[in-house]
Amino acid sequence: MLIGIDVGGTYTDGVAVNEEGEILAVAKYPTLRDNLLESLTGCLDQVMSGLSPLQVKRVSVSTTLLTNAVLQDKLEKTALLVIPGPGLDPTVLPFGVRPNVVAGAIDFRGRELAPVQPAQVKSLLMELIEAGHSGVAVAGKFAQRNNSHELKVESYALEHYPGLRVELSHRLCGSLNFPRRANTTYLTASSRTLFRHFLDQLEAGIRTRGITAPLYVLKADGGTLPLAAAARTPVETVYSGPAASVLGVLALLPEAETAVVMDIGGSTTDLGLILDGKPLLSSRGAEIGLFKTQVHSFAVTSANVGGDTPVEVVGGRINLGERRCGPAYCLGGSAPTPTDALRYLGLCEHGSLELAREGMESLASSLAVAPPEAARAVMEQVVERIATSFRQMVQCWEDEPAYRVWEVLHPHRMKRFKIFGVGGAAQGITPLVAEQLEAQWEAPEIGRVANALGAALAVPTFSCSLRADTGAGLYSIAETGVQLPWPNGRGGMEQARNLLSKHFRQRAWELGLTAAAGEITREEVFNVVRDSVTEGRIIEIGMELKAGVMTRVKGEERQ
């Protein structure tokens, strides 16, 4: 039996499912804004009532802890140190916090252009510690090609300030994009203690309930990681809620289906894409508040409209508000909302029909039309907002940059798709959106807990990328920051593959995963030619354990 729990803004959803894809229990528990732990354990108790803790094989949770910490500024006081070298003025780069510039420079092939200056680092650290920082995040431009400058800053810091929290960018992520790497490092450094503390409490809470099964945490890329591994990279757990919904839908769809996942919440509608059975990943990385990061995440677009979006009449037209002000009128709120329109039109059954009618009548009188017409006008606007976001999302995917001739000759094109609605008002809104987009649709009852289902069934994910510069005699692994001499010999790509799969297995073991089989997702070789002589090769190769679900939910469960 697998347990999944997703902490959302309003509700914490839970589900218990067995390995054959039969759903055993579902739960909805109000989220306590200031006590995520209590929300999680409360929901768990609801799910487990009537089930034996000994039957549990795995518990996976997705939390908003990190997102909340960033948005509510609850991070630990941490300084960002950057080593930008020559190039763009670092003050214009998109760092989420003020950067402190350290001298030194590395170029794109990992050659040192200018050394780190110990005296400068020393006075800078002293200043920062006096200002009350308990940790530093260090990120150098091209540190993924040569980590020596970051290591020097670290050893210097630890030598003079033992106990200082130090996080280095090359150990966390290695894609090209120095500001994003810096931001990722900063968020990791400033949230790790907080997150660790939370996970410890969570683990204790679950253990006291007699569950001895391993605990997993869901990530933005729709994969899970064991608690201990997740604790090292808390930033990867952002936006795991929307990812959970996409995965939940994946479990509810037949294999290799193409679908738009539409998760309708109170204030926003999240849209995700499943293409031929594979969730679409964002090409750049998650953005959390002011922080653009290198965190792999599903490409999820938010339309600024949900069941509780306030509706008013402005200039003789229906106008949707920009933010939620409370529940729907029919559920005791103060303004009419799309939920009221749906209730009035008989497209959903929540709330008081009487109040919904009152809400629509007030809109109708301002518009000088009949109430049903007003309700339909509201829904037209809602559908239009969602459809616009959907078109932007597809456009964005179709317009993704291409760097190879092959890619231009095989462009991304959206084919026939189905709209899969989940969340509160899904059954009312999905058919309307489907009609507008001329698509088929589905919005089964179980979709209410698709998020928890996704968490329960998610498989582990991770990636491992190797870059070798055989002329320089070096190779590195982007995700772990390992930098090693390239073994002699003329192995080329074959050798790179072997080394990569060795590091891949090693990383799986470090993350606490067993029997992980990776898939090669990218292979690129460049001959390095100088004066007409081939000096070596630059090889870039990536291996991934991709997002997916352990099992699909059985047909009869979907009704």
Q: Does 109 bind other proteins (CB under 8 A)?
A: yes
CA 553 to chain centre: 23
CB 440 to other proteins: min, Å: 29
Strand 2-7 with 58-62, pairing: parallel
Q: Does 410 bind other proteins (CB under 8 A)?
A: no
Q: Site map for other proteins, 174-213, x if CB under 8 A?
A: --xxxxx---------------------------------
- Binder of other proteins out of 93, 275, 474, 550 (CB under 8 A): 93
Instruction: Quote the CA–CA distance of 242 and 261 in Å, as a whole number.
Output: 10
Q: Site map for other proteins, 283-322, x if CB under 8 A?
A: -x-------x------------------------------
CB 477 to other proteins: min, Å: 17
Sorted by sequence, the CB contacts under 8 Å of residue 282 that are 6+ apart come out as: 296, 297, 298, 299, 300
CA 468 to chain centre: 29
Half-sphere exposure of 148 (CA within 13 A, CB side): 14
Nearer to other proteins, 220 or 449 (CB): 220
Residue type, 313: V
CB 202 to other proteins: min, Å: 34
Sorted by sequence, the CB contacts under 8 Å of residue 524 that are 6+ apart come out as: 539, 540, 541
User: Which region among 46-54, 83-91, 350-358, 475-483 touches other proteins (by CB under 8 A)?
Assistant: 83-91
Q: Does 111 bind other proteins (CB under 8 A)?
A: yes
Helix ranges restricted to H, 324-370: 338-344, 353-367
Nearer to other proteins, 334 or 527 (CB): 527
Cα-based angle 526, 528, 531 (whole degrees, multiple of 5) = 145
User: Which region among 347-355, 379-387, 490-498, 533-541 touches other proteins (by CB under 8 A)?
Assistant: 533-541
Sorted by sequence, the CB contacts under 8 Å of residue 139 that are 6+ apart come out as: 80, 81, 82, 83, 150, 168, 169, 178, 181, 182, 185, 186
Half-sphere exposure of 344 (CA within 13 A, CB side): 30
Q: Does 256 bind other proteins (CB under 8 A)?
A: no
Return the SS3 of 365.
helix
Sorted by sequence, the CB contacts under 8 Å of residue 410 that are 6+ apart come out as: none
Q: Site map for other proteins, 363-402, x if CB under 8 A?
A: ------------------------------------xxxx
Q: Does 526 bind other proteins (CB under 8 A)?
A: yes
- Binder of other proteins out of 54, 113, 290, 353 (CB under 8 A): 113
Could you tell me the two tokens for 160? 């003079």
Count residues contacting other proteins (CB under 8 A)?
41
Q: Does 94 bind other proteins (CB under 8 A)?
A: yes
Binding site for other proteins (CB under 8 A): 86-89, 92-94, 107-109, 111, 113, 141-142, 176-180, 284, 292, 399-406, 408-409, 524, 526-529, 531-534, 538
